[in-house]
């Protein structure tokens, strides 16, 4: 046992002598956690600033001044728009095409008259005053800006009616976000924590594990060690412990970072979540070991590792839920172990995004672990270079 611990200690020391290990297992998860939080953390809470070009083909008077009030409102300190007025539609559209404006609102001639008529002659259906909004097709921000403006105009119509009709029926609006644990509520920082945790586990499992196994075999280290009293299984166990400890160190650092700078605490400090993290480590380590069974050269191990990393990260739903993908690819999502592991972790911290039954979240990764370990065990002698 002493020999095992000593060997594990030496391996761990060797692991952390490499800058790549420190970088990908310890530093990169922190950087990623920071970036994702900076971008998405306040996405729905902050106010967007959208630029809108406005063309007034006439000076708004009388009831037409309602439009001016709306524009003042939407471009005020609380409003989402920054307005620039243009003398004609052509100039405004050119700015839209050049990306200087997200949308262009054109207020045609006779708008004041139409508005006045529509508001004063209620019994006659003389039609609405039409405003034109130009948006860039396919451009997300432009389509979103047009959508927001449309909602504002809808509300204006409702408000006008409300002011005119004393029996107006107004509905109160309530929303219910669907997560497994509704009591805790959705919190992006906590939601993304398991995603980054799985990423750091993957970095060790898919880079350090196959590369380490192949490197030690191809550079002759294994052969030298087999001339010593160390048995192959003992040697492998110390390697396994070394990777596991590297993951644990990375995870502890991430936890500290998240709790110190983002106030994440009690949510992740629960036993079930910590056990699910450990479970993920074991499953993904076995996955990494399986990859090393297929790779005979370092270059092959690198390629396998990189491709698996990207697929397991993005299609496993670490950063974005994947259950909205088309079925042509969604079946693949349901095969990947990371889909279940990240969901399992999220379920224990009240940030679940999938209706997958709990037992499936355990069974599929276990199946992967058994399959991967069997493949690795069948190739054990080849992988470890043991003759």
The tokens describing 102, both together, are: 């997200």
- Report the residue number, 244 or 337, with the smaller CB distance to other proteins: 337
Sheet containing 103-107, strands listed edge to edge, beginning at the edge strand earlier in sequence = 81-86, 50-56, 103-107
d(CA 279, CA 113): 70
**Distance of closest approach, residue 278 Cβ to other proteins, in angstroms:** 24
Assess contact for 199 and 318: CB atoms under 8 A: yes
Longest dimension (CA), the chain: 101
Assess contact for 168 and 162: CB atoms under 8 A: yes
Assess contact for 185 and 177: CB atoms under 8 A: yes
Question: Nearest 5 degrees, angle CA 282-CA 283-CA 288?
Answer: 95
- 26 touches other proteins by CB under 8 A: no
- 132 touches other proteins by CB under 8 A: yes
d(CA 363, CA 173): 40
- 43 touches other proteins by CB under 8 A: yes
- Report the residue number, 92 or 225, with the smaller CB distance to other proteins: 92
Name, in order, each residue with C-beta under 8 angstroms of 228's C-beta and a sequence gap of 6 or more: none
Residue owning tokens 């403006």: 149
- Report the residue number, 3 or 162, with the smaller CB distance to other proteins: 162
d(CA 269, CA 239): 28
Residue from 181, 321, 366, 373 binding other proteins (CB under 8 A)? 321
The tokens describing 287, both together, are: 């996955």
Residue from 263, 310, 358, 378 binding other proteins (CB under 8 A)? 310
- Report the residue number, 252 or 307, with the smaller CB distance to other proteins: 307
Interactions with other proteins, residue window 176-205 (CB under 8 A)? 176-179, 186, 188, 191
d(CA 175, CA 172): 10
- 165 touches other proteins by CB under 8 A: yes
Residue from 151, 228, 270, 374 binding other proteins (CB under 8 A)? 151
Site string (254-283) toward other proteins, x via CB under 8 A: ------------------------------
d(CA 344, CA 360): 10
Interactions with other proteins, residue window 74-103 (CB under 8 A)? 93, 96-99, 102
- 314 touches other proteins by CB under 8 A: yes
Residue from 77, 174, 183, 227 binding other proteins (CB under 8 A)? 174
- Report the residue number, 146 or 284, with the smaller CB distance to other proteins: 146
Where does this chain touch other proteins (CB under 8 A) — which range of 1-9, 26-34, 233-241, 263-271? Answer: 26-34
Q: How many residues bind other proteins (CB under 8 A)?
A: 98
**Distance of closest approach, residue 282 Cβ to other proteins, in angstroms:** 26
- 134 touches other proteins by CB under 8 A: yes
d(CA 232, CA 211): 18
């Amino acid at each position: 046992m002493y020999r095992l611990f000593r060997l594990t200690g030496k391996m761990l020391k060797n692991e952390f002598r490499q800058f790549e290990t420190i970088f990908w297992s310890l530093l990169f998860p922190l950087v990623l956690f920071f970036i994702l939080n900076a971008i998405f953390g306040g996405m729905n809470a902050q106010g967007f600033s959208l630029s809108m070009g406005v063309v007034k083909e006439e000076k708004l008077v009388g009831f037409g001044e309602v439009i001016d009030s709306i524009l003042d409102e939407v471009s005020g300190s609380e409003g989402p728009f920054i307005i620039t007025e243009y003398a004609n539609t052509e100039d405004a559209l050119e700015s839209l095409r050049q990306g200087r404006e997200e949308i262009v609102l054109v207020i045609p001639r006779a708008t004041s008259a139409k508005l006045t008529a529509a508001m004063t002659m209620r019994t006659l259906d003389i039609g609405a005053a039409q405003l034109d909004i130009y948006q860039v097709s396919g451009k997300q921000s432009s389509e979103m800006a047009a959508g927001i403006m449309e909602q504002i105009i809808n509300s204006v119509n409702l408000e006008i009616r409300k002011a005119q009709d004393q029996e107006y029926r107004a509905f109160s609006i309530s929303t219910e976000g669907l997560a497994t644990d509704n009591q805790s509520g959705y919190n992006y920082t906590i939601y993304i924590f398991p995603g980054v945790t799985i990423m750091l586990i993957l970095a060790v499992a898919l880079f350090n594990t196959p590369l380490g196994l192949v490197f030690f075999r191809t550079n002759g280290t294994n052969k030298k060690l087999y001339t010593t009293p160390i048995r192959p299984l003992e040697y492998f166990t110390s390697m396994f412990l070394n990777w596991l400890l590297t993951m644990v160190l990375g995870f502890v650092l991430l936890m500290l970072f998240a709790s110190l700078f983002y106030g994440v605490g009690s949510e992740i400090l629960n036993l079930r979540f910590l056990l699910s993290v450990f479970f993920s480590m074991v499953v993904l380590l076995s996955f990494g070991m399986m990859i090393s069974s297929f790779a005979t050269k370092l270059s092959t191990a690198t390629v396998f590792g990189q491709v698996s990393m990207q697929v397991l990260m993005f299609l496993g739903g670490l950063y974005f839920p994947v259950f909205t993908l088309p079925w042509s690819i969604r079946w693949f999502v349901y095969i990947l172990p990371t889909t279940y592991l990240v969901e399992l972790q999220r379920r224990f911290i009240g940030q679940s995004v999938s209706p997958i039954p709990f037992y499936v979240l355990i069974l599929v990764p276990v199946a992967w672990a058994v399959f991967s370990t069997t493949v690795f065990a069948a190739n054990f002698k080849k992988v470890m270079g043991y003759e």
